[in-house]
Amino acid sequence: MLTIWGRLNSHNVKKVAWFAEEAGLAYVRHDVGGRFGMDADYLAKNPNALVPTIEDGEVTLWESNAILRYLAARHAPDRFWPANPAARAMADRWMDWQIDYAEAQRDAFVNLIRRPEDRRDADAIKRSAEACARKMTILDAHLAQSPWLSGDAFGIGDVPMGVYVHTWFTLPIERPNLANVADWYEGLQARSGYAGNVMIPLT
């Protein structure tokens, strides 16, 4: 059985837990990181002191997007890991693009969710919200041409940004009206595992 190590209020852990359900994988998840801490056994698995980490048989792996690719290729290649390299790359690029988006969103998230009101940096929140809007405008333009980031059907390329778009719609920031992003987000909310693993309170 797949084991996932990491607390579910982590964006990167949400990705893996949600995708495991999409792929129909039985798994057990252990809370690690944040207020749960990390013991020596965990740090032996992941010396970066980050979450998530998985154990799948003989495989121990960290880095959330690498985990997604591994799970797709090993356990659900027909659905989530196209044999055609071009089709795979078209989805895969959005997984790497999400890393840049996460940097844009970081200051808004940290200030509004993880800092008390009297310690928030209003200028940093504003800059972060504006950076997110610019990124989401790029996403919206792509979604005007394709219903999913993975192409004609939901796929692995939708998972990383699928986690972050929920945060974008949940944070109390100014957002442009991006109809294609809104439609994509609505479609995600109907997906297996999305509500239970992604649409949880931000903490």
Q: How confident is the model at residue 153 (pLDDT cuts 50, 70, 90)?
A: very high
In the chain, the percentage of residues whose pLDDT exceeds 90 is 100
At 76 the three-state DSSP class reads coil
pLDDT per residue as tens digits for the range 38-62: 999 999 999 999 999 999 999 999 9
> 61 has which bridge partners?
54
| pLDDT for residue 144 | 98
| pLDDT for residue 192 | 84
Q: Which residue has the tokens 């200030």?
A: 111
Q: With beta carbons less than 8 A apart as the criterion, state whether 191 and 154 touch.
A: yes
Non-local CB neighbours of 153 within 8 Å, separated by 6+ positions = none
| pLDDT for residue 115 | 97
Q: Which domains does the chain have, with CATH numbers?
A: 2-79 (3.40.30.10), 83-195 (1.20.1050.10)
Q: What angle do CA 8, 10, 13 make, to 5 degrees?
A: 65
Q: With beta carbons less than 8 A apart as the criterion, state whether 123 and 108 touch.
A: no
Full-prediction pTM beyond 0.95? yes
Give the number of residues written for the chain.
Answer: 203
- Spell out where the chain has E strands: 2-5, 27-30, 53-56, 59-62
Q: In the structure encoding, which two tokens stand for residue 8, read together?
A: 């579910």
Position 157, amino acid: G
Q: How confident is the model at residue 73 (pLDDT cuts 50, 70, 90)?
A: very high
Q: How confident is the model at residue 140 (pLDDT cuts 50, 70, 90)?
A: very high
| pLDDT for residue 110 | 98
Alpha-carbon separation of residue 199 from 83, 141, 163, 168, 189 (angstroms): 31, 24, 8, 12, 8
Residue 158 has pLDDT above 90, yes or no: yes
Alpha-carbon separation of residue 144 from 44, 101, 140 (angstroms): 45, 19, 6
> 60 has which bridge partners?
55
Question: Terminus-to-terminus CA distance in the chain, angstroms?
Answer: 28
